[in-house]
Amino acid sequence: MTLKHVSGLLCAAAMSFGLASGAQAQDKVVKIGAILPMSGGTASIGAHAKAALEVAMDIINNAHPELGNLPLAKNAGLAGLGGARIEVVFADNQGNPATGQNQALRLITEDKVAAVFGSYQSGVTLTSSAIAEKYGIPFLNSESVAANLTERGFKWFFRTTPIATDFAKIYTDFLADMKATGAKTDAIALVHDNTEYGTSVANTISTAFKDKGQPIALDVAYPVNATDVQGQVLQLKDKKPDVIIMISYTSDAILFAKTMQSLDYKPAILLADDAGYSDPSFIKAVGKISQGVFNRSSWAVGPSGSPSAIIADMYKKKSGEEMDDTVGRQMQGFFVLADAIDRAGSTDPAKIQAALKATDLKPEQLMMGYKGVKFDDKGQNVLASGLIIQLQDGENYVSVWPKANAEKAPTLPYRGW
């Protein structure tokens, strides 16, 4: 309700501004609904994403010739719609699939958004995108990795991020490489929460290792937002796996780090599946006791003066945080959506859908390290890719694998504190 009032006021302000300055293009606004966790256990993610989308809006709505080949940066607004401005209507999903669904309905039926963007948690993306599908509104997802999201035969769902199957392959290849250098990687334990994200990613990874002839040795599931994980850490300490793969959101990731320290347990290799481990507040809170943790990422800041470095700088000014993989993938997804609307030259859902299907962005047009953006029939970006990073000093992740993209060599074993 408040959000509606605020956006109403913003519209009014934008219109009066347009009238006062006499510029006709200024009053054309394309509304995009963004469903994000603004409260609840992952609220930090929502706050970062909001700052990222505001930077993206700034880049699209104002002229930023310094950003080179990035689509929509050069001139102000969407050229394909006569310089129309992009405006994001933010909606809070509270990290809850049912709330996400209601918010999608509200954005589509009341705010009349041209497209929906979101919703971070795979479980929330699952429900909110079903509403967009029903109403025939394009839904762009940039960060949910549960493989099944693009296996539902949806026509209006597009996903730019690499997904669980991509990363499962990265993990098997990475660990095979580590084994070749002498590390022990025989017994692998999966630690994951019981959300859509946790269970589906764990399944995908477990299948990938099984196919390689190396079944997962131990599967430790826990309820999300746990109050205590001593039992789980002791289970791991007891079974002594060589490698632990963590699939956790921020709150649980922090609790695991603290509990592992207090019970003095370190696996030889700790490999995290993004999510909580990419949240800057994880690094600030427990980075110093998680030294040497591996993580996956598609983000690299690049040399200073490069578009990615400039964007990272803009983001830091806005949010006070360092750019991380999650917000990077979100901004990238948003640019892809805006680019499609621009090429559609219209806010007609069918035209945006057609433009999304025709998307073919090259690596030099992206801020993320994907090999490009091109959707298959299921709406999955087939050129998405990633690499392995490591928190070597407890403060900043550096890329360590594959060798071609590595800033530093991976160090073993996991140091912890």
**What does the binding site for other proteins look like in residue numbers (CB under 8 A)?**
38-41, 43-44, 46-47, 194, 220-223, 225-232, 234-235, 237-238, 250-251, 254-255, 258, 261-264, 279-282, 284-286
Min CB(399)–other proteins separation in Å: 25
Q: What type of residue sits at position 113?
A: V
Local structure of 244: helix, strand or coil: strand
**Whole-angstrom distance, CA of residue 111 vs CA of residue 334:** 18
Which CB sits closer to other proteins, 121 or 232?
Answer: 232
Q: List the Cα angle 392/394/397 in 5-degree steps.
A: 55
Min CB(262)–other proteins separation in Å: 4
Min CB(318)–other proteins separation in Å: 13
DSSP 365: G
- Pairing type for strands 139-141 and 115-118 reads parallel
Which CB sits closer to other proteins, 72 or 323?
Answer: 323
Which CB sits closer to other proteins, 282 or 334?
Answer: 282
**Whole-angstrom distance, CA of residue 180 vs CA of residue 164:** 24
Beta-bridged to residue 33, according to DSSP, are: 89, 116
Asked if residues 61 and 342 have their Cβ atoms less than 8 Å apart, the reply is no
Which CB sits closer to other proteins, 194 or 411?
Answer: 194
Asked if residues 137 and 162 have their Cβ atoms less than 8 Å apart, the reply is no
**Whole-angstrom distance, CA of residue 229 vs CA of residue 71:** 46
Min CB(404)–other proteins separation in Å: 34
Min CB(221)–other proteins separation in Å: 5
DSSP 358: T
Min CB(258)–other proteins separation in Å: 6
Which CB sits closer to other proteins, 153 or 223?
Answer: 223
DSSP 331: H
User: Tokens 């091109």 identify what position?
Assistant: 374
Which CB sits closer to other proteins, 89 or 236?
Answer: 236
